[in-house]
Structure 1
Amino acid sequence: MNVGPSLVGDARIQEAGGAMHAEMYPRAVERLMADELLPVFPAVLVVGPRGCGKSTSMMRFADTTLDLSKPGDRLAAREDPDGVLAISDGTVLVDKWQEAPEILGAIKRAVDADRSRRPGRFIVTGSVRAAQQAATWPGTGRLIRVRMHGLTQAELQRDEHYNPVDALFRLGHVQFGPSEWSRHDYLEAITAGQFPVAVELSGRNRRRWFSAYVDQLIDRDALPVSGRAPHIQKLRSVLESCAARTGLELNKRATADDVGIDFKTADRYLSLLEDLCVTSRVPAWHTKRLQRLTRSPKIHLADTGMAAHLLNVDATSVGRDPMLVGQMFETFATNELSAHIETAQSETRMFHLRDRDGKEVDIVLESEGRIVGIEIKSSSVISHDDARGLMWLRDRVGDSFVGGAVLSSSSVPFQLNEHVWSLPLSALWRAPLPR
């Protein structure tokens, strides 16, 4: 058992690829934990992909840390989980719960036995999504779930307070300034990704880190989550197929054909990668006001840097591929917005929209009956044609439509049409101009 002191200055991150030095960046989730969750709830579950910074951030709040990746802590948690928690003082961080799932039942019992419901008693972190959805999941009603992502561009620039989701729901009432980011600047950020260690590396060292990350994910992490041993090479090939198809509608049959496996195995491996938090699905949006909408979700890799590594491309080669550059821009923007949805002022959900006639909107944000539509373009030149899907959506949902934005590598924001604007993609991390 380790007593977790407050962390200041640099953090030492020891995840896939060996010990690395990574600067401590301010995280919006830390602010959410400190201001809203820990003062109210007895137990909080923080999930996200391995290496996104969960452990480093949550140690800031812990008086006692149980690191279940360590043999001693893991054995104690498996053999006597109730006793381990009983002798742990203050706020207890249970790190990497999936290494000893028995600890979850003990947390449930501890929360139920505490009639005072003392807030901030337990923080649980893990890189596994699946168990939460099982009927026997012991955290139901006891663990408040928070999804943590890699570093947003705002956090990289040391601004954990700006939330572009909130700003987008105020379109027409805020004014964005011009951007100095070039198309190549965006491509460099896209291929660097969001993992705290990887963004500080470059060239061969970044590729080495991602190689170690994928090896750890496939060779070690997948087995305890899947329940039965996956075929290592085929699982890796499914991950590579997801990278090639990131930002597209999920097509399980096509993935099965890519890898040379049957449909059921492809379906199982796709779910396994989502359980490991390295892929995500954006569901299709539906409303009675629009007909003939498709129901297929879009699939995104959780990190565009990992996608670039799996596809063996860099910023220059991505920029030369008209299809891939659009996919990567969309996944990058989707991942940025997904991270900010977690800390938005109002509960917000993300969708994509496509009808059977080919009309589509890349991202639809919905909050309290209000709708924002977003198109993502890699081009630096934007015209009215790029906003056709947004204007179609606006005209059909009426007053529910707050506004639409075409986010691109253009540098100057301007209004394209009624309630529809062209904005630099950097509006996702550069706050509007003060009024």
Structure 2
Amino acid sequence: MATSPGPQFEAGVQSQADERAALYPRAVEWLVRDELLPAFPALWVVGPRGCGKSTSMSRFADSVLDLSEPGNRLAAREDPDGALSHAGGTLLVDEWQEAPEILGAIKRAVDVDRSSRRGRFIVTGSVRAAHQAATWPGTGRFIRVRMHGLTRAEMERVERYNPVDALFRLEQVQFARSEWNRNDYLEAIVAGRFPVAVDLTARNRRRWFRAYVEQLIDRDAQQISLRSPPPRKLRSVLESCAARTSRELNKQATARDAGVDFRTADGYLGLLEDLCIINRLPAWHTKRLQRLTRSPKIVMTDPGMAAHLVNTDAVSLGRDPVLIGQMFETFAATELLAHLETAAEETQMFHARDRDGKEVDIVLESRGKIVGIEVKSSSVVGRDDAKGLMWLRERLGDAFAGGAVLSSGRIPFQIDDRLWALPLSALWTAPGSL
């Protein structure tokens, strides 16, 4: 009988994540240091377990209250205000979900003096607060920062480059020829974005993902759920999400895959979203286009985990014409999602599809301007691959800032007015100015 990895694995994940994450500069670090800590008393940094939150945020902390440690956890549960009373400077409260009472104490500390100094608290955890919405004390007190796994820009140490900003300036920048080929992308997809896993051998990476998923299902989900979900059924829903990553959410199909009823599947999807393992990419809407669907897409947070859950590697993925398209799109979407936090302007990310089947994989919207993105695994693309972008451009007119077909091809070129074919590596290779 399989057993839960337990606290030892959890500590191991965190210590390994800390060690590996320390090797990479993270984009959210300069955001926190330069913009947020000087302006706000409390930050709430959330992201999947093992993505490097603790390592990055500890760089700004004068002291750390680690609630995964039994003594700290007990003290925070029994006397949360007292647990904060001796902290000076910036306090990092790590793994808040282990003692949710600490959030109320932080609220009270912030509320006591509204003019109190900035940068007092950084709160980190691997659980969203949605499951505690009724009692969430952070409204108006915490500034949320979403942290993701490593972007390729971070792995390549391309500092301060944000591809979201570049995509809104397609006509003003010159993208470089790519050194990546299709096999390079396949290897990057299955390696994923977790700092611990990216440099492991394929065999050890499978072991790590297996233990991570067990920890997620057997402990993390049980910890935050009001009704302990049967691990086998919750895992089945997770596996269904992996198999359907970058497809429109179909709750009936997910319920059927997992052998559970519709309501149960819906609850499990919410639980996985709270654990930051899946993302719902909303459907984009505008009065300019009629008959648009309203179903979100499901996108796995980490493409490597998705590959593990569907039991594929780079070689077998390259031979699956359906799955490879989903995984390339997931890879691009997760790269862009991570960069939304540090984009120059607030930007939202969607997908678009109408009831006649016209669609665009990814839609970025910022200040009334739209960028459309298609993702292809092929190394050869042309006008046919940009049909969805042309449809969007024709309907939006001047609101359409530009569109890109991202592929495994190496040479960037212009397809049509405001439409470009770009290597997928343009998401982490800084362009030059025209």
TM-score band w.r.t. shorter chain: over 0.9
Correspondence for 1:411: 410
The within-5 A match list for 1:209-248 is 209-248=208-247
Residue by residue, what CA displacement relative to the aligned partner does 1:297-328 show, whole Å, maximum 9, x if unpaired?
00011000001111111111111100000000
Structure 1 runs not aligned, ≥5 long: 1-12
1:100 matched to 2:103? The reply is no
Q: 1:56 to 1:18 in 2, by over 3 A?
A: closer
Structure 2 CA distance, aligned partners of 1:286 and 1:292?
Answer: 9
Correspondence for 1:300: 299
Deviation at 1:18, TM superposition (A): 7.5
Correspondence for 1:144: 143
Correspondence for 1:70: 69
Structure 2 CA distance, aligned partners of 1:15 and 1:95?
Answer: 16
- 1:363 partner letter: I
- 1:232 partner letter: P
Asked if 2 retains the 8 angstrom alpha-carbon contact of 1:293 and 1:353, the reply is: yes
Asked if 2 retains the 8 angstrom alpha-carbon contact of 1:370 and 1:402, the reply is: yes
Structure 1 CA distance, aligned partners of 2:130 and 2:44?
Answer: 12
Structure 1 CA distance, aligned partners of 2:193 and 2:159?
Answer: 15
Asked if 2 retains the 8 angstrom alpha-carbon contact of 1:16 and 1:212, the reply is: no
Asked if 2 retains the 8 angstrom alpha-carbon contact of 1:329 and 1:378, the reply is: yes
Deviation at 1:414, TM superposition (A): 0.3
Correspondence for 1:4: none
- 1:344 partner letter: A
Correspondence for 2:121: 122
1:332 matched to 2:310? The reply is no
Comparing 223-232 and 404-413, the one that deviates more: 223-232
Deviation at 1:237, TM superposition (A): 0.8
Deviation at 1:135, TM superposition (A): 3.6
Asked if 2 retains the 8 angstrom alpha-carbon contact of 1:353 and 1:363, the reply is: yes
Structure 2 CA distance, aligned partners of 1:86 and 1:18?
Answer: 27
Correspondence for 1:82: 81
1:319 matched to 2:318? The reply is yes
Correspondence for 1:203: 202
Correspondence for 1:282: 281
Residue by residue, what CA displacement relative to the aligned partner does 1:205-260 show, whole Å, maximum 9, x if unpaired?
11111111001000000012111110100001110110000010000000111111
Correspondence for 1:154: 153
Structure 2 CA distance, aligned partners of 1:385 and 1:307?
Answer: 29
Comparing 103-112 and 224-233, the one that deviates more: 224-233
Q: 1:88 to 1:299 in 2, by over 3 A?
A: same
SS at match of 1:61: coil
Asked if 2 retains the 8 angstrom alpha-carbon contact of 1:17 and 1:210, the reply is: no
- 1:160 partner letter: E
- 2:233 partner letter: K
Comparing 391-400 and 14-23, the one that deviates more: 14-23
Q: 1:170 to 1:319 in 2, by over 3 A?
A: same
Correspondence for 1:178: 177
Deviation at 1:434, TM superposition (A): 4.5
Asked if 2 retains the 8 angstrom alpha-carbon contact of 1:183 and 1:409, the reply is: yes
Structure 1 CA distance, aligned partners of 2:131 and 2:40?
Answer: 18
Residue by residue, what CA displacement relative to the aligned partner does 1:377-401 show, whole Å, maximum 9, x if unpaired?
0000001000000011001001000
Deviation at 1:133, TM superposition (A): 6.7
SS at match of 2:135: coil
Correspondence for 1:7: none
SS at match of 1:124: strand
Correspondence for 2:272: 273
SS at match of 1:416: strand
Residue by residue, what CA displacement relative to the aligned partner does 1:25-79 show, whole Å, maximum 9, x if unpaired?
1000001000100011000000000000001111101111010000011011111
Asked if 2 retains the 8 angstrom alpha-carbon contact of 1:17 and 1:209, the reply is: no
Asked if 1 retains the 8 angstrom alpha-carbon contact of 2:172 and 2:433, the reply is: no
Deviation at 1:267, TM superposition (A): 0.6
Residue by residue, what CA displacement relative to the aligned partner does 1:370-426 show, whole Å, maximum 9, x if unpaired?
000000000000010000000110010010001000000000000001100000000
Correspondence for 2:429: 430
Q: 1:258 to 1:17 in 2, by over 3 A?
A: farther
Correspondence for 1:16: 13
Asked if 2 retains the 8 angstrom alpha-carbon contact of 1:249 and 1:297, the reply is: yes
Correspondence for 2:4: none
- 2:26 partner letter: R
Correspondence for 2:386: 387
| TM-score, scaled relative to structure 2 | 0.95
Deviation at 1:132, TM superposition (A): 7.3
Structure 2 CA distance, aligned partners of 1:227 and 1:374?
Answer: 39
- 1:208 partner letter: R
Identity %: 73
Structure 2 CA distance, aligned partners of 1:24 and 1:114?
Answer: 38
Structure 2 runs not aligned, ≥5 long: 1-9
Structure 2 CA distance, aligned partners of 1:140 and 1:156?
Answer: 34
Structure 1 CA distance, aligned partners of 2:409 and 2:203?
Answer: 31
Asked if 2 retains the 8 angstrom alpha-carbon contact of 1:285 and 1:364, the reply is: yes
Structure 2 CA distance, aligned partners of 1:47 and 1:108?
Answer: 17
Asked if 2 retains the 8 angstrom alpha-carbon contact of 1:364 and 1:374, the reply is: yes
SS at match of 1:146: strand
| TM-score, scaled relative to structure 1 | 0.95
User: Moved runs in structure 1, 4+ residues, more than 4 A?
Assistant: 17-21
Q: 1:153 to 1:19 in 2, by over 3 A?
A: closer
RMSD: 1.3
Deviation at 1:286, TM superposition (A): 0.4
Structure 1 CA distance, aligned partners of 2:316 and 2:30?
Answer: 38
- 2:241 partner letter: C
Structure 2 CA distance, aligned partners of 1:298 and 1:203?
Answer: 29
Asked if 2 retains the 8 angstrom alpha-carbon contact of 1:17 and 1:213, the reply is: no
Structure 2 CA distance, aligned partners of 1:113 and 1:202?
Answer: 51
- 1:196 partner letter: P
- 1:43 partner letter: A
SS at match of 1:200: coil
